[in-house]
Each structure stands twice: as structure tokens, then as C-alpha cells.
Amino acid sequence: MILATRVPWVQTVLVSIMAGLLIAAAGWVQQVREGRFPPPPLGATSLSITSGSLVKRLTAGYNTLAADLYWIRAIQYFGGIRLKLADPSGTLTRGEPIPTDYDQLYPLLDLTTTLDPYFTIAYRFGSIFLAEPFPSGAGRPDLAIALLEKGLRARPERWEYMQDVGFVHYWWRQDYPAAAEWFRRASEVEGAPWWLTSLAAVTLAEGGDRASSRLMWQAIRESAEIDWLQRDADRRLMQLQAMDDIDALQAEVDRVGSSTDALVRTWEALRGPRLSGIPVDPTSTPYTLTDGRVALSPSSPLFPLPEEPKRLIPPAS
């Protein structure tokens, strides 16, 4: 102790060690306390302020920074619910219910885009994940359209938003006249890709078809700025591929069945030059064959397949 008073650095080291030990002891006591008296589960996410104009005033002009914070919050909220749905036992705290909707997603995206009307990715993210049915998304195509129309008021030159509105009408609402109208409007914007014109025409004339659907998902995939959008577009494209595979396999099953006048129940009946093993979907999961019907396996990551956009005019046979 005499050394500590005479040599200042020794005193500093001793005091620092004592302070460190005390903090470590406090941490240990906290751990013991939380083991005996667990903290209550986190409450559901709630938005205290939902008015974008109020938040604008509170941020004193630093709107884009506030928009970034709300975007981070929207991403964390969406990803958090996805994780809880994928692994409830591993992610939910004790007593926390399994989420049943994404009710905060639209308010968060609305706030983000009110604070920064040029926030492109927020609109496009919303167009996909607001429209997708639960558990992939919020299941609210009306809100997806509302968000995109808000984006168009701020930036009427963004043909991508018009394309996305058309896509929501096409894929989720199967409202082909509305979809065609939005594709037409998008095609008239300077810089819009050439295929929007033909897409508008085909949609109006024939309704939904797989080729148009594939084109739109490929366009979304190529223009997507974040991984989630790209992965979702990839999944949809694989689902379309699976639908093509099922059609081709079903045609073969029907052909063999009509030639043998019996229901085809196993893949062995189809073995031949065109089919050497059990056919698999794009995720390498085998298709099922039950009583002459080919289907996607329920264990496939692509299950369930989407409701196919309906043709208004049947193809010429």
C-alpha cells in the first residue's frame, strides 16, 4: 500500500483492477437474479407514432436519417417474424405467442416513405411482401398498391412502380384488365423496357399465362436491390418450372395410362428413354404420383404452388 501511494501508476492499476472486479461481480449477481427471477417476455412490437408528418416535425429536417431508421426497423420486424415462424421453439421467448400477421409492416413502410419519398427499395419491398399471403407476407395486395401509388405521386417517372402495381393486379388479384392498363402506362414512360408493351397487349388479350408470369418474375429478380427480393423471385421462378414439369409429367402419365388402360401408380411404369429415375423438382425433391396424378411433394420448399393466373382465352389446340 505504501508502494501504491508512492508510485502513482501502481495506484491506477490497482484501482482499475478493483473496479473491474466489482463490475464483474455485479454482472454475476445479475445473472443469478435473472436465473431466479426471469425477466418478463418482450411485448409485441408497437408503433407509438404512426403519423409521418409528426415524425417529420420531430426530426427537425433530418428526414432521410429518420427514414433509414424506420427502414431498419421494418426489415428487423419482418425478418424477426419470419424467424419466429420458421423456428418458434428457438426464437420465441417464454409466453410469447406465435405471430399471426405482419400488422406493423405497412405502417413502418408508410412512415419510411413519408419521411423519404424517394426510398425506392421500401416501395418495391412493400409491393412484394405486403401482397404475399401469410406466412410469406402480410397478405394485403390493397396496401401494396396503395404504397406504390404513393411512390408514383412522388416520382411519376418510375415505370418500375407501375410495373409492380400491374404485377400485384396480375399475380395476386388476377385482375387482368387492371394489370394490362398498368403495364401499358409503364410502357409509355421514357426508359421503360420494350417488353412491357407486349406484356400489356398479351395480358389484355389473353389474361394470365405462365410465360408472362415468368417474364415478370425474371424482371423483378434482375431489378431487385436486396437479397430477399431476389430469393423470393427465384422461388417463384422455380415454382413456375415445377408447374411446367408437372404438366409434362402428367401428359406422359396420361399417355401411358391410356395406352395400358390402367391408372399409373408408380414411376417405374414411365421408365424409358425420357425418364430414367424418379423425377425431382428444382429443389431436388421428388414429385409424387398418386392414383395417376402428378403433384408437388408437400415436403418440397416450393410447396404450395401458387394459384395459376387464368387464361381468358384457351390456347388453340
> What nine digits make up the cell of 258?
391410356
- At its nearest, how many Å lie between other proteins and the CB of residue 140? 20
First-to-last alpha carbon distance for the chain, in angstroms, is 101
Distance CA 4, CA 16 (A): 13
Determine, following the binding rule CB under 8 A, whether residue 63 of this chain makes contact with other proteins.
yes
Q: Site for other proteins (CB under 8 A): which residue of 17, 19, 24, 72?
A: 72
Determine, following the binding rule CB under 8 A, whether residue 201 of this chain makes contact with other proteins.
no
Q: Site for other proteins (CB under 8 A): which residue of 227, 261, 268, 291?
A: 227
- At its nearest, how many Å lie between other proteins and the CB of residue 66? 9
Largest CA distance in the chain: 105
Determine, following the binding rule CB under 8 A, whether residue 71 of this chain makes contact with other proteins.
yes
Stretch that binds other proteins, among 1-9, 53-61, 203-211, 283-291 (CB under 8 A): 53-61
- At its nearest, how many Å lie between other proteins and the CB of residue 65? 4
Determine, following the binding rule CB under 8 A, whether residue 234 of this chain makes contact with other proteins.
no
Stretch that binds other proteins, among 174-182, 219-227, 264-272, 293-301 (CB under 8 A): 219-227
Determine, following the binding rule CB under 8 A, whether residue 258 of this chain makes contact with other proteins.
no
Q: How many residues bind other proteins (CB under 8 A)?
A: 22
Determine, following the binding rule CB under 8 A, whether residue 226 of this chain makes contact with other proteins.
yes
- At its nearest, how many Å lie between other proteins and the CB of residue 214? 22
- At its nearest, how many Å lie between other proteins and the CB of residue 16? 23
Decide if 127 contacts 147 (C-beta within 8 A).
Answer: yes
Question: Which CB, 214 or 221, lies closer to other proteins?
Answer: 221
Question: Which CB, 108 or 180, lies closer to other proteins?
Answer: 108
Kindly calculate the radius of gyration of the chain based on its CA atoms and give it in whole angstroms: 28
Amino acid at 313: I
Determine, following the binding rule CB under 8 A, whether residue 54 of this chain makes contact with other proteins.
no
- Residue 93 neighbours by CB distance under 10 Å: 11
Range 109-128, binding other proteins (CB under 8 A)? 116, 118, 120-121, 125
Interface contacts to other proteins, rule CB under 8 A = 57, 60-65, 67-68, 71-72, 75-76, 116, 118, 120-121, 125, 225-228
